[in-house]
Structure 1
Amino acid sequence: MGSLDDHISAGAIARSDDDFELQTDALEEVLSGQLPCWVCGYELSGLSVTGVCPECGTPVRTTLLAVVDPSAASYAPLRMPRIASAGLVLWTGAALLAILTIWLCRLTDALQVWFAVPSKLGFLGALVPVFAALSGLGGLVLIHPQKGDSLKQTLGPILASALYVPLVWMLWYTHAKIDLTAGIPYFTNALREADRVELRCAIGIVSMLIALLVRPSVRAFAKRSVLMRTGQLTRQTLLAVVAALAIALAGDMIHVATIRVEPLQHVVTSTISLLLVAAGSALVTVGFAGMFWDAIRLYPIIRNGPRSLGDVVQLDEPDA
Structure 2
Amino acid sequence: MKLPPGLTTDCPSSGSAPLVCHLQKSLYGLSQTSREWYAELSQALHSRGYSHSPNNHSFFIKQSPSPIVLLAVYVDDIILSGDDLEELSALKSFLDSQFKIKDLSTLNYFLGIEVYYTASGLLLHQKKFIRDLLQKYNYNIVNPVACPLDLSIKLKADMGDTLAFPEFYRSLVGKLNFLTHTRPDLSFAVQHLSQYLQKPTHTHMKAVIHLLRYLKGTSDIGVFFYNDLVFSISTYCNNDWAACPDTRRYVIGFCILLGGSLISWKAKKQPVVSLSSAEAEYRSVSKVVAELVGLLRLPSDFGVNVAVHVPVFCDN
Q: Which has the higher helix share?
A: 1
TM-score category (smaller protein)? under 0.3
Q: What TM-score, normalized by structure 1, do the two folds share?
A: 0.22
